[in-house]
Structure 1
Amino acid sequence: MTENITQLLDDASARVDSALETFLQKDDIAVENLHDGLLYSLGLDQEDPAIRGKRIRPALCLVTCECLGGKGDAALPFAMAVELMHNFFLVHDDIQDGDPFRRGRPSAWKRYGIAHSINIGDFLFTKVFDAFLSGSESTPDLNLQFSLLKLLVETLEYTHIGQAQDMNALRRRDMTLDDYLEIVTNKTGYYLAAPMLGGAQIAGASQATLDALQQLGKFVGPVFQIVDDTIDLTHGKGRDTVGSDIREGKRSYLAVYAASKATPEEKEELYDILDLPREETSRAHIQRVAAIYEKYGAIDAGRAYCKQLMEQAHAVMADTPAPLRDTMMAIFDHMLERKN
């Protein structure tokens, strides 16, 4: 089943890449430090698929549509819009976090500088709506177009709210797990549900199915983020080293959980390290934080919580059409085990 799911997602991702390449070729001009920056951010400047990311969100859009009997090609414009939105977020997020690497090579801001990268991110943002509108002729239903546009706008709004909450959490020492869950639901949950909802709407899904997919996003979004938090500490995320979240001072699930269990002295030490400037955070600091996480079983606790969330995800999808339910849950069960 794992091989089948991997192949399904890879095939959908390849279709999105092909559509993006065709779509982006329509520009009549190519401005230095803009169009090349856009291609660089999307990983379309080279043939290596590793620098393009997983394309999981647009793949979910196509797969959802087809599982519900729709035509995947009809969902491609929305899928492209979702992927462009994702990379818009990443370009700006790397600037805000000071992350010098993305997908195994310099982040856009390290390659092009901060000023150009802000503009590249904004250009990606305009391309979100350009890609969406490219499907207007194949989607003549104005009500559907309006509903999809509203979905994009709401996703942007919630993700920006989550990002602001995430940045506001830096240097906080009173974070609870409920606070963490609210942040990641806003920052990740809505934006993981959006491609599934878009694909489902294009396929003509029932309101009950749409409601289930919305709830699914709220469960699997935090799962995706907690797994990401763990990967950062154990395998890295295509960045320069493991522990990038610690260097950023990020209030990850691991940090918040460990702080809730640690002694007052350990909690203070943990937050003192997290609050160091990035350039002053040494490998020894990262190892010390990792030791605190290990002492209190933070990684195991995160995995256990993810399993609880996945049980709830399975429950909300129980009454959806079998092809959708079985495929989506196989995908997200597979994602729970990912290492990168």
Structure 2
Amino acid sequence: MELNDHRDFLLNTAKTLLTIDSPSGFTHQVTAKAEEIAQGLGYETRRTNKGGLIILVPGREQGKRIGLCAHIDTLGLMCRAVTERGELMLTKIGGPQLPTLDGEYCRIYTRDGRVYTGTILSLSPASHVFDDALTRPRDEQNMYVRLDEKVRTSADVQALGIEVGDYICMDPKTTVTQSGFLKSRFIDDKGSVACLLTLLKLMSASGMRPRYDTEIHFTVYEEVSHGAATIPADLDELLAVDMGCVGLDLTCSEYQVSICAKDSAGPYDYDLVSRLIRLAKENNVDYAVDVYPHYTSDVAVALQAGGDMKAALIGPGVHASHGMERTHVDGMVETVKLTALYLECGAPDESIR
């Protein structure tokens, strides 16, 4: 499989997914796009009752059932109240770093399908007006959304159809530089979803299949900690493909695939992690092994839900997670390589063309 020929597909798929708003619980559009891509490559898909996507990839041999997972939901906001002045007060979905959102553009989705634009701001937004413009906390009690509509009262907002519980989605500001950097909010974890869809394209184009029957799960509630509860408990192995962390005493860079030995939920399976390290070494994959102290993945949820599978976690190195994130196409490519090696993709087969 020649991955260099598919770098454009990898980056274009990432950009496509990143520009579709999809905070946890509001993922129908991005899941439909991922399903459209997978079906276009010739793969069978199905949906979970919670809205997740499963892509079925037949293997060459019987003996194991393998799972891959990546989450397609993102961080976000929701309207929790409307002030008498027509300001939208907010509550977090997942764990966005609110100080990084001060001044960011956003979209507000009403329950009847209307979409409005606005700006996320401090309640003390102007240096020429407020003494505490620089020092006021940037948190849920001190930030709001300024609507791009003529509103002076809560009744004006209500007349637009905007209500408590409406989703507020931040502009990801997705950019790809000539030097190969992908800069965007929500690379965690749409970058990994793009990696897995690229692997499917590689297999489809070459006629190759994994060694064992494989199901790829794109989960939709990972950022609120119950995305993987629908992953079958009787899988033999589960490989989560999520972001790798960059910073402090971590060794991973944005140009590598990270292999996580342990996160806040505990260690990953020793044999499976060791196998991934061996595969990376033997095949010149640029990798790092790290321990993530402030991190958990879909694996923890799947295991806590009763899963009896061996599990591990890999992903491209991502800088500034839950803020304005950045990775490099090299790290994404190394992630695709290691995932393909893990699946033991083999000889061409006409049935997958």
TM-score of the two chains, using structure 1 as the length reference: 0.27
TM-score of the two chains, using structure 2 as the length reference: 0.27
More helix, by proportion: 1
Q: Which has the higher contact order (CA 8 A, sep 6+)?
A: 2
